[in-house]
Amino acid sequence: MASFFHARYEFTVATVSITLVSLALTIFLYMMMNVMGNVASKRSPDNRVVPVLPDAGFEHIGQIKALYLTDVFDFVIIIPAVIYILLHRTPLSCAVQSLTTCSIGCILRITTVAITSFPDPRLDCERIEGDPFASVSLHRCGDAMFSGHTMIFVLGALMWTSFSPLNWAGRIATFLTWCCAIAGGIIIIANRAHYTVDVLVAFYVTVGAWYFVQWWWHHWLVVPNRLVSLRFPHGNYYDARGRKIANPASPELPQHMYQTDVTGSEGSLSASVPSFSQHGAMAELPASTGRSGIATMV
Protein backbone atom coordinates (compact mmCIF):
# COMPACT_ATOMS: atom_id res chain seq x y z
CA MET A 1 0.00 0.00 0.00
CA ALA A 2 2.82 2.40 0.85
CA SER A 3 4.50 1.79 -2.50
CA PHE A 4 1.14 2.31 -4.25
CA PHE A 5 0.80 5.84 -2.87
CA HIS A 6 4.52 6.61 -3.07
CA ALA A 7 4.48 6.05 -6.84
CA ARG A 8 1.59 8.49 -7.22
CA TYR A 9 2.44 11.30 -4.81
CA GLU A 10 5.64 13.33 -4.86
CA PHE A 11 5.53 15.91 -2.10
CA THR A 12 7.84 18.79 -2.92
CA VAL A 13 7.56 22.45 -2.05
CA ALA A 14 6.15 23.12 -5.52
CA THR A 15 3.61 20.28 -5.64
CA VAL A 16 2.33 20.84 -2.09
CA SER A 17 2.18 24.62 -2.46
CA ILE A 18 0.29 24.54 -5.76
CA THR A 19 -2.18 21.94 -4.53
CA LEU A 20 -2.87 23.74 -1.24
CA VAL A 21 -3.21 27.12 -2.94
CA SER A 22 -5.65 25.64 -5.46
CA LEU A 23 -7.67 24.05 -2.65
CA ALA A 24 -7.62 27.18 -0.47
CA LEU A 25 -8.67 29.37 -3.41
CA THR A 26 -11.60 27.07 -4.21
CA ILE A 27 -12.76 27.07 -0.56
CA PHE A 28 -12.48 30.87 -0.34
CA LEU A 29 -14.43 31.33 -3.59
CA TYR A 30 -17.14 28.97 -2.34
CA MET A 31 -17.47 31.13 0.76
CA MET A 32 -17.74 34.25 -1.39
CA MET A 33 -20.26 32.51 -3.62
CA ASN A 34 -22.39 31.85 -0.53
CA VAL A 35 -22.17 35.55 0.37
CA MET A 36 -23.25 36.64 -3.10
CA GLY A 37 -26.03 34.06 -3.06
CA ASN A 38 -27.31 35.70 0.12
CA VAL A 39 -27.09 39.11 -1.55
CA ALA A 40 -29.08 37.74 -4.49
CA SER A 41 -31.67 36.39 -2.05
CA LYS A 42 -32.09 39.77 -0.35
CA ARG A 43 -32.44 41.50 -3.72
CA SER A 44 -34.81 39.01 -5.33
CA PRO A 45 -38.48 39.98 -5.83
CA ASP A 46 -40.99 38.37 -3.48
CA ASN A 47 -42.35 35.44 -5.49
CA ARG A 48 -45.60 35.67 -3.54
CA VAL A 49 -46.15 39.04 -5.21
CA VAL A 50 -44.14 38.87 -8.43
CA PRO A 51 -45.17 35.89 -10.56
CA VAL A 52 -42.68 33.20 -11.52
CA LEU A 53 -41.16 33.74 -14.96
CA PRO A 54 -42.42 31.65 -17.90
CA ASP A 55 -40.21 28.60 -18.40
CA ALA A 56 -40.44 26.02 -21.17
CA GLY A 57 -38.81 23.42 -18.93
CA PHE A 58 -41.53 23.83 -16.31
CA GLU A 59 -44.14 23.30 -19.02
CA HIS A 60 -42.69 19.91 -20.00
CA ILE A 61 -41.23 18.62 -16.70
CA GLY A 62 -43.72 17.94 -13.93
CA GLN A 63 -43.10 19.36 -10.48
CA ILE A 64 -41.91 17.14 -7.63
CA LYS A 65 -41.26 17.80 -3.95
CA ALA A 66 -37.92 16.07 -3.38
CA LEU A 67 -35.42 18.88 -3.02
CA TYR A 68 -33.02 16.64 -1.09
CA LEU A 69 -32.32 14.73 -4.31
CA THR A 70 -30.38 17.70 -5.71
CA ASP A 71 -27.91 17.38 -2.84
CA VAL A 72 -27.85 13.58 -3.09
CA PHE A 73 -26.83 13.81 -6.75
CA ASP A 74 -23.99 16.16 -5.79
CA PHE A 75 -22.51 13.43 -3.59
CA VAL A 76 -23.33 10.55 -5.97
CA ILE A 77 -21.44 12.28 -8.78
CA ILE A 78 -18.54 14.09 -7.11
CA ILE A 79 -17.49 11.59 -4.40
CA PRO A 80 -16.61 8.72 -6.82
CA ALA A 81 -14.79 11.22 -9.06
CA VAL A 82 -12.73 12.52 -6.13
CA ILE A 83 -11.87 8.98 -4.99
CA TYR A 84 -10.79 8.08 -8.52
CA ILE A 85 -8.59 11.18 -8.74
CA LEU A 86 -6.93 10.37 -5.40
CA LEU A 87 -6.03 6.91 -6.74
CA HIS A 88 -4.98 8.17 -10.17
CA ARG A 89 -1.42 7.77 -11.46
CA THR A 90 -1.01 11.58 -11.37
CA PRO A 91 -3.44 12.62 -8.62
CA LEU A 92 -2.08 16.08 -7.78
CA SER A 93 -2.02 17.09 -11.44
CA CYS A 94 -5.65 16.00 -11.89
CA ALA A 95 -6.66 17.66 -8.62
CA VAL A 96 -5.12 21.02 -9.53
CA GLN A 97 -6.83 21.02 -12.93
CA SER A 98 -10.20 20.14 -11.36
CA LEU A 99 -9.86 22.73 -8.58
CA THR A 100 -8.83 25.40 -11.06
CA THR A 101 -11.92 24.70 -13.16
CA CYS A 102 -14.10 24.84 -10.05
CA SER A 103 -12.54 28.17 -9.05
CA ILE A 104 -13.24 29.67 -12.47
CA GLY A 105 -16.86 28.50 -12.24
CA CYS A 106 -17.16 30.05 -8.77
CA ILE A 107 -15.75 33.38 -10.01
CA LEU A 108 -18.23 33.44 -12.88
CA ARG A 109 -21.10 32.63 -10.54
CA ILE A 110 -20.01 35.22 -7.96
CA THR A 111 -20.07 37.91 -10.63
CA THR A 112 -23.47 36.95 -12.09
CA VAL A 113 -25.76 35.59 -9.36
CA ALA A 114 -26.72 38.95 -7.84
CA ILE A 115 -26.57 41.11 -10.98
CA THR A 116 -30.08 40.38 -12.27
CA SER A 117 -32.72 39.48 -9.69
CA PHE A 118 -35.27 36.78 -10.50
CA PRO A 119 -38.41 35.81 -8.57
CA ASP A 120 -37.57 32.35 -7.27
CA PRO A 121 -39.53 29.58 -9.00
CA ARG A 122 -40.07 27.73 -5.69
CA LEU A 123 -42.65 29.31 -3.40
CA ASP A 124 -41.30 27.69 -0.21
CA CYS A 125 -37.70 28.87 -0.70
CA GLU A 126 -35.74 30.40 2.19
CA ARG A 127 -35.40 34.17 2.01
CA ILE A 128 -32.21 35.62 3.51
CA GLU A 129 -32.84 38.91 5.29
CA GLY A 130 -29.89 39.28 7.68
CA ASP A 131 -26.15 39.70 7.28
CA PRO A 132 -25.08 38.02 4.00
CA PHE A 133 -21.77 37.03 5.64
CA ALA A 134 -23.52 35.24 8.52
CA SER A 135 -26.01 32.97 6.71
CA VAL A 136 -25.49 29.66 4.94
CA SER A 137 -28.19 28.04 2.85
CA LEU A 138 -28.23 25.64 -0.08
CA HIS A 139 -31.74 26.48 -1.30
CA ARG A 140 -32.40 30.16 -0.69
CA CYS A 141 -34.68 32.42 -2.71
CA GLY A 142 -33.23 34.26 -5.70
CA ASP A 143 -29.99 32.24 -5.88
CA ALA A 144 -30.63 31.55 -9.53
CA MET A 145 -28.13 32.36 -12.28
CA PHE A 146 -26.50 29.95 -12.67
CA SER A 147 -27.01 26.58 -10.95
CA GLY A 148 -24.16 25.73 -8.59
CA HIS A 149 -25.43 22.16 -8.14
CA THR A 150 -25.33 21.62 -11.91
CA MET A 151 -21.79 22.99 -12.01
CA ILE A 152 -20.75 20.20 -9.61
CA PHE A 153 -22.63 17.59 -11.65
CA VAL A 154 -20.86 18.57 -14.86
CA LEU A 155 -17.45 18.96 -13.20
CA GLY A 156 -17.65 15.39 -11.90
CA ALA A 157 -18.61 14.11 -15.36
CA LEU A 158 -15.75 16.02 -17.00
CA MET A 159 -13.24 14.58 -14.53
CA TRP A 160 -14.21 11.10 -15.70
CA THR A 161 -14.26 12.24 -19.35
CA SER A 162 -10.66 13.51 -19.29
CA PHE A 163 -8.98 11.27 -16.71
CA SER A 164 -10.67 7.86 -16.90
CA PRO A 165 -8.85 4.96 -18.59
CA LEU A 166 -9.75 4.20 -22.20
CA ASN A 167 -11.18 0.75 -21.42
CA TRP A 168 -14.69 -0.60 -20.93
CA ALA A 169 -14.73 0.29 -17.22
CA GLY A 170 -13.66 3.88 -17.87
CA ARG A 171 -16.18 4.31 -20.67
CA ILE A 172 -19.03 2.88 -18.57
CA ALA A 173 -18.10 5.11 -15.62
CA THR A 174 -17.99 8.17 -17.89
CA PHE A 175 -21.33 7.32 -19.52
CA LEU A 176 -23.07 6.68 -16.18
CA THR A 177 -21.71 9.90 -14.69
CA TRP A 178 -22.99 11.95 -17.62
CA CYS A 179 -26.37 10.22 -17.28
CA CYS A 180 -26.41 11.21 -13.60
CA ALA A 181 -25.41 14.79 -14.47
CA ILE A 182 -28.27 15.11 -16.97
CA ALA A 183 -30.71 13.42 -14.58
CA GLY A 184 -29.56 15.75 -11.80
CA GLY A 185 -30.26 18.78 -14.00
CA ILE A 186 -33.78 17.47 -14.73
CA ILE A 187 -34.37 16.88 -11.01
CA ILE A 188 -33.32 20.47 -10.26
CA ILE A 189 -35.86 21.73 -12.79
CA ALA A 190 -38.55 19.34 -11.54
CA ASN A 191 -38.06 20.61 -7.98
CA ARG A 192 -38.26 24.20 -9.28
CA ALA A 193 -34.95 24.84 -7.54
CA HIS A 194 -33.77 26.71 -10.65
CA TYR A 195 -35.10 27.93 -13.94
CA THR A 196 -34.17 25.81 -16.94
CA VAL A 197 -31.82 28.52 -18.23
CA ASP A 198 -29.88 28.38 -14.94
CA VAL A 199 -29.19 24.69 -15.50
CA LEU A 200 -28.28 25.07 -19.18
CA VAL A 201 -25.91 27.99 -18.55
CA ALA A 202 -24.21 25.97 -15.78
CA PHE A 203 -23.57 23.18 -18.31
CA TYR A 204 -22.11 25.61 -20.86
CA VAL A 205 -19.97 27.52 -18.35
CA THR A 206 -18.48 24.42 -16.70
CA VAL A 207 -17.62 22.72 -19.99
CA GLY A 208 -16.07 25.94 -21.29
CA ALA A 209 -14.06 26.49 -18.10
CA TRP A 210 -12.84 22.88 -18.12
CA TYR A 211 -11.49 22.95 -21.65
CA PHE A 212 -10.00 26.39 -21.14
CA VAL A 213 -8.01 24.91 -18.23
CA GLN A 214 -6.99 21.95 -20.41
CA TRP A 215 -5.77 24.36 -23.10
CA TRP A 216 -3.90 26.48 -20.54
CA TRP A 217 -2.40 23.38 -18.91
CA HIS A 218 -1.00 22.14 -22.22
CA HIS A 219 0.37 25.43 -23.52
CA TRP A 220 1.72 26.82 -20.24
CA LEU A 221 2.91 23.67 -18.47
CA VAL A 222 3.28 20.74 -20.86
CA VAL A 223 4.83 22.53 -23.83
CA PRO A 224 7.44 24.50 -21.84
CA ASN A 225 7.94 21.46 -19.56
CA ARG A 226 7.11 23.15 -16.26
CA LEU A 227 6.19 21.49 -12.94
CA VAL A 228 7.50 18.08 -13.98
CA SER A 229 7.21 16.66 -10.44
CA LEU A 230 3.52 17.60 -10.36
CA ARG A 231 2.78 16.01 -13.74
CA PHE A 232 5.12 13.02 -13.45
CA PRO A 233 5.60 12.08 -9.76
CA HIS A 234 8.97 10.42 -9.10
CA GLY A 235 9.70 10.38 -12.83
CA ASN A 236 6.83 7.96 -13.53
CA TYR A 237 5.68 8.94 -16.99
CA TYR A 238 1.91 8.50 -17.22
CA ASP A 239 -0.52 10.59 -19.23
CA ALA A 240 -3.79 12.06 -17.97
CA ARG A 241 -5.56 8.73 -18.45
CA GLY A 242 -2.98 6.72 -16.54
CA ARG A 243 -1.30 5.24 -19.61
CA LYS A 244 2.42 4.55 -19.39
CA ILE A 245 4.53 6.83 -21.58
CA ALA A 246 7.60 4.92 -22.73
CA ASN A 247 9.12 7.99 -24.36
CA PRO A 248 7.74 11.37 -23.22
CA ALA A 249 8.70 12.86 -26.60
CA SER A 250 6.79 10.22 -28.54
CA PRO A 251 4.83 11.66 -31.49
CA GLU A 252 2.15 9.02 -30.85
CA LEU A 253 1.06 10.91 -27.73
CA PRO A 254 0.18 14.39 -28.96
CA GLN A 255 -0.75 15.69 -25.51
CA HIS A 256 2.89 15.19 -24.53
CA MET A 257 4.26 16.12 -27.94
CA TYR A 258 6.55 18.73 -26.49
CA GLN A 259 7.37 16.95 -23.23
CA THR A 260 11.12 16.47 -23.35
CA ASP A 261 12.14 15.54 -19.84
CA VAL A 262 13.85 12.24 -20.52
CA THR A 263 15.66 11.52 -17.30
CA GLY A 264 16.17 13.11 -13.93
CA SER A 265 19.52 11.42 -13.32
CA GLU A 266 22.92 12.85 -14.02
CA GLY A 267 24.49 12.21 -17.36
CA SER A 268 23.49 12.89 -20.92
CA LEU A 269 20.79 11.38 -23.10
CA SER A 270 19.53 12.12 -26.57
CA ALA A 271 15.93 12.15 -27.74
CA SER A 272 13.93 13.03 -30.80
CA VAL A 273 11.57 15.94 -30.21
CA PRO A 274 8.68 16.04 -32.69
CA SER A 275 7.96 19.27 -34.47
CA PHE A 276 6.12 20.46 -37.55
CA SER A 277 7.75 21.75 -40.68
CA GLN A 278 6.41 24.80 -42.46
CA HIS A 279 4.44 22.46 -44.73
CA GLY A 280 2.69 20.80 -41.80
CA ALA A 281 4.62 17.51 -41.99
CA MET A 282 6.00 15.87 -38.88
CA ALA A 283 9.73 16.38 -38.54
CA GLU A 284 12.10 15.15 -35.87
CA LEU A 285 14.54 17.60 -34.37
CA PRO A 286 17.52 16.44 -32.33
CA ALA A 287 17.53 17.19 -28.64
CA SER A 288 20.03 16.59 -25.88
CA THR A 289 19.89 16.64 -22.12
CA GLY A 290 22.43 17.76 -19.64
CA ARG A 291 22.73 17.25 -15.90
CA SER A 292 19.27 18.66 -15.28
CA GLY A 293 17.63 15.97 -17.36
CA ILE A 294 15.67 18.56 -19.37
CA ALA A 295 16.02 18.21 -23.11
CA THR A 296 17.10 21.28 -25.05
CA MET A 297 17.02 21.99 -28.75
CA VAL A 298 20.39 21.78 -30.46
Are 13 and 133 in a shared domain? yes
- CA-based nearest residue to 128, from 43, 47, 194, 41: 41
pTM (2 decimals)?
0.80
Q: How confident is the model at residue 259 (pLDDT cuts 50, 70, 90)?
A: very low
As a whole number of Å, the end-to-end CA separation of the chain is 43
Asked which of 99-108, 186-195, 242-251, 265-274 is least confident by mean pLDDT, the reply is: 265-274
Same-domain check for residues 262 and 218? no
Q: Are 78 and 156 in contact (CB under 8 A)?
A: yes
Q: Which domain holds residue 259?
A: 246-297
18 and 165 housed in the same domain: yes
| 26 and 92 inside one domain | yes
Of 237, 228, 264, nearest in space to 14 by CA: 228
User: Domain check: are 190 and 283 in the same one?
Assistant: no
Q: Tell whether 218 and 273 lie within a shared domain.
A: no
pLDDT per residue as tens digits for the range 200-244: 999 999 999 999 999 999 999 888 888 888 888 887 788 888 888
% of the chain at pLDDT higher than 70? 82
Q: How many folded domains does the chain comprise? A: 2
The answer to whether residue 187 sits within a structural domain is yes
The DSSP code for 7 is T
Question: What are the tens digits of pLDDT across the range 148-203?
Answer: 999 999 999 999 999 998 899 999 999 999 999 999 999 999 999 999 999 999 99
The reply to whether 271 and 155 lie within a common domain is no
Is residue 202 domain-shared with residue 271, that is, in the same domain?
Answer: no
